[in-house]
Amino acid sequence: MKDFDHLMSVWQGQPKKEQLSVDEVLKQVKSGVRGLTNRIYWSIVAMVVIIAFAFIIALFGAFNSWVTTVGILIVLITMFMYLTLIVRHYHILSKRDATVNPTEYLDSLKEYQKNRTKVIGWFYYIYTLLISAGLALYFVEVLQNASGIFKGVTYGSIIIWFMFTTFYLKPRMFKNEEEKLNLMIDRLERLQEQFD
């Protein structure tokens, strides 16, 4: 009996979890999702402009080598694949309202996070590798008459860009977004636990 009384006193002595305000949590989650969707929206706009610019170069550029055309096509196809991916992510985040059904919204956020982590993990490396390869092929003809030093600087810049985006920029960028998603999911889960 003493053990039970001791267990009860320890259990009752635990600090109570702070109750979350439904309106405040939903407002914070909506604000967080709005920030993510705005960032994705502007990425879509920028990608459309860049694709249009690359398409104009491919269409109106007078290139002698098929290697240059292949390089531009690799860049265009890769950017188009990325565009379809971020448009899909934008639709997933913006199509639901957290206030209508928070449980369903929580499930969709979890699914988005799982899908995003899986796809972005392998796709990002393929994306940067293909863009770098396409640029390298494009510069074969463009830099044909350039000096060896200028060629070295250009190709060195492509390699440095690839390394910078892969090992420095990507981890920081995705960690920041992952933390925001985790915070939103955590708040919605705590809110759901209050009502269970």
The lowest-confidence range among 3-7, 123-127, 135-139, 162-166 is 3-7
Q: Rounded distance, CA 190 to CA 111, Å? A: 18
Identity of the amino acid at 33: V
Q: Are 37 and 88 in contact (CB under 8 A)?
A: no
Q: What is the pTM of this model?
A: 0.74
Supply the pLDDT for residue 142: 84
Residue 107 pLDDT class (50, 70, 90 cuts): confident
Cβ-contact 58, 69 below 8 angstroms? yes
* Coil/strand/helix, residue 96: coil
- Residues 160-179 have a mean pLDDT of 84
The tokens for 87 are 């448009």
Percentage, residues of the chain above pLDDT 70: 82
Q: What value does the mean pLDDT take over residues 168-172?
A: 83
Instruction: Pick left, alpha or beta for residue 62 (phi over 0 → left; psi -120 to 50 → alpha; otherwise beta).
Output: beta
User: What are the tokens at 135?
Assistant: 């640029």
Q: Alpha-carbon distance 32 to 30, whole Å?
A: 5
pLDDT digits (tens, 9 = 90+) for 70-87: 999 999 999 999 899 889
Task: Summarize pLDDT for 108-129 with one digit per residue, the tens.
Answer: 778 778 877 777 777 888 888 8
For residues 145 and 187, which has the higher predicted lDDT (pLDDT)? 145
Mean pLDDT of 182-187: 80
Number of Cβ within a 10 Å radius of residue 155 = 16
Q: Has residue 11 got a pLDDT over 60? A: no
